[in-house]
Structure 1
Amino acid sequence: MLPSADPVSVAVALSDLRGDLGTGLAEIKGSLALLVQRAGQTDQALADQRSDLEAVEARLAAVERRVWTASGGAAVLGALTGYAVQFLA
């Protein structure tokens, strides 16, 4: 059997528990707010990375088009040079 507690000490203990609970909830809310903020920053960084990647892919596609055009032109020029050498020889 538990000893009977003084109502004043019970009230004080309950008040302390309420304070501790309030403090704990405030810490949890603060931590949650920080996590939400960091998630927002991460989302923004990811969006920035995606746009940078799209820009690089566009530049690469442009370079590849130039390379294919130049290699095709070089092949045509080489073939024409070969025919010219045959006709001049």
Structure 2
Amino acid sequence: MTSPAPDAGVYISPAQTLAEVRRIADGQIRMEGKLDRILDDRAEDRETLGDHEQRIRGLEVRVWMAVGAAVVLGTGGGALAQVIAR
């Protein structure tokens, strides 16, 4: 193998190419790790969000049941007060 002429342009040796490929591969491995952590965090957030939605819906049901009970008791109390007042 002959060495390139000095005015032939840029020469990148196989060792330099290998070093660059390894550097890029290491960066990709770190990036994959970060993405895995982000996806795991998002999955946990979705589970937490689903739990919050379920709890809020349960509270809404209880609130409307309490409102309904208050209406019934208020109406019954008013009718009872009319009977007693006569």
Q: Same fold (TM over 0.5)?
A: yes
Report % sequence identity: 24
SS in 2 for 1:61: helix
2:56 aligned residue: 60
Structure 1 residues not aligned, in runs of 5+: 1-6
Structure 1 segments, 4+ long, off by >3 Å, are: none
Structure 2 residues not aligned, in runs of 5+: 5-10
Residue 65 of structure 1: CA displacement? 0.8
Higher relative contact order (CA 8 A, sep 6+): 2
State the Cα RMSD in Å. 1.5
CA deviation vs aligned residue, 1:16-57 (integer Å, no higher than 9, x gap)? 711111110001000111111111111111000000000001
Q: Structure 2-normalised TM-score?
A: 0.84
Residue 59 of structure 1: CA displacement? 0.6
What amino acid maps onto 1:20 in structure 2? Q
Alignment pair present for 1:32 and 2:28? yes
Q: Structure 1-normalised TM-score?
A: 0.81
Structure with greater proportional helix content: 1
Question: Which of 61, 68, 74 does residue 72 from structure 1 map onto?
Answer: 68
